[in-house]
Each structure stands twice: as C-alpha cells, then as structure tokens.
Amino acid sequence: MSLIVSSQGIILKIFPYSNTSIICNVFTQDRGKLTFIAKGIRKPKNPSLSILQPFNLLEFNYYYKKNRSMHLIKEADILFSFSHLRKDFSTILIGSTILNIINRLFEEEYPQEIIFRLTYKVLNQLSGDKEQSKILFIFFLFHLSKQLGFMPNIDRCNSCNSIFKHDAIFSLRSNSLLCSNCSINNSLDTDFVLTYESLKNCLLINTTHINSIEDIKMSFHNCQELYNFLISFMNSNINNMHKIKGIKEITKIYHEE
C-alpha cells in the first residue's frame, strides 16, 4: 500500500524515461535522497515539465512506498528556483558539482537534515562573485566532512596533540594534519604544507555562520591550500571523490589566478 506524502526537495538530476516520463533524483529535507518518477509529463504543452529541472526546490506530493526504488509524483509545485546560479559559469559549475557530490554520496532514504540545510544555504549564497564562491565551496566541503563525521583535527597535531602555532603538514598516509616535528621522520612525496595562515582560515570556516561568510577574506594561496587539503582528505574517505563530475574543472579555478 502506498501513502500520499509530501516533501520539500532539491532536484539533483533528471533522466528521460520511456517516451513521456522523467525520473529524478531529489534531495529531500525529511527523507534524504529519493528517486521520483513523473509519468506522462513529456507530452507537449505539459507545464510541469519546466519545473522538473536540477537546482529547483519543489514541494512534491507523491505516492510513497517503503523500500521502493522509485516513488510516483502526484503533483509538484516550485518553491525556489536558484535562478541566480545560472547567470555565471563558475557558480553553475560549483552549484552543479555540489548536486553531484550529494547524489554520489548518499544512498536512498537516509535523512540528512543538517546537510540539506547546508546545501540549500550554500546554493542560495552562491553569487557571481568568484572569490566568494570559492570560499563558499570550501565552506561546503568542510562542513559536509564534519557532518559526515570524518573531519580531522585542524587545531592540533594528530600525532603529538600539540596545538598548531606554525605551518602544519597534511599527511596522506595518516590522512590527518601533523606538526613539522611529527612529520619529519614520516614524510611522503604526497604530503604538503598547510600554512598557519590557511589553518587559521580553516578555523574561521569552522566557526563562522554561513550568513556572515562575507567576513572571511582569503588570499588566492590560502584558498588553494585549503581546497587541496579538503579534496585530498575527502578523496581518502569517499570513493572516487575526484571523479565526481565537475571536480576537475573546479580544481582549475583554484589553481588559475
């Protein structure tokens, strides 16, 4: 038996299905990721077609069946379209990569309310300002890792526990940050320095509310270091993170002045 329920959700991805239907992956606020099917909506002049697009936040009414891989949409209304994202290349890229990460990361029906709010707010704040978009994406990666429970210590050495007062070393082998004393006998070519300045910015990212993100100013090099750190670190925790569509192009944004 199916229940008619309603959820708010952001469309992550859509696929055409049969001649007239659409399947969409949706990140819902209350049930995590769900897959919906909208039947018959690709018929000519069907107005619902235009709102079933990635980025749109919709209110879905649907026939919910537990443990079903797909749920049939009864009706959907648009709540917010994030249309500001489509005006600028780097915001489209960062926004769609965020959707791809969410889509890759989560199985169906694992509620992730905090990550839903994080995603919504980051998408909402992305603007044509490239520097701010870069900081927002770092903010997203950092808080996503933290919510998933695998953020390393950023204020102290993972080995000797001393508080960082100088540059730290990101060690791929231990997948953590070490002080220079601890990394000296244990270093690999893949290790890299995270300057004290970048560490302080990372602590700010940790404590700043997203509504005040404009207060964070970061140099090109600090942005690049933090991005490299977060991506390397997440790569070790999430299978094929670096293969997620968009990551390669975003990496270029952090490396080209």
In angstroms, give the least distance from the CB of 152 to Zn ion. 13
Q: How many CA atoms lie within 13 A of 66 on its CB side?
A: 1
In angstroms, give the least distance from the CB of 158 to Zn ion. 8
Q: Parallel, antiparallel, or unpaired: how do β-strands 57-64 and 3-17 relate?
A: antiparallel
The dihedral of CA 61, 53, 79, 127: what is its sign? positive
The residue (of 123 and 179) whose beta carbon lies closer to Zn ion is 179
Residue 44 identity (one-letter amino acid): P
The residue (of 157 and 223) whose beta carbon lies closer to Zn ion is 157
Binding to Zn ion in span 150-209, by CB under 5 A: 157, 159-160, 179, 182
Nearest 5°: CA angle at 250, between 233 and 244?
A: 65
d(CA 192, CA 86): 35
In angstroms, give the least distance from the CB of 233 to Zn ion. 18
Binding to Zn ion in span 29-88, by CB under 5 A: none
Element (H, E) at 142: helix 130-148
The residue (of 64 and 192) whose beta carbon lies closer to Zn ion is 192
The residue (of 52 and 177) whose beta carbon lies closer to Zn ion is 177
Binding to Zn ion in span 118-157, by CB under 5 A: 157
Binding residues (CB under 5 A) for Zn ion: these are 157, 159-160, 179, 182
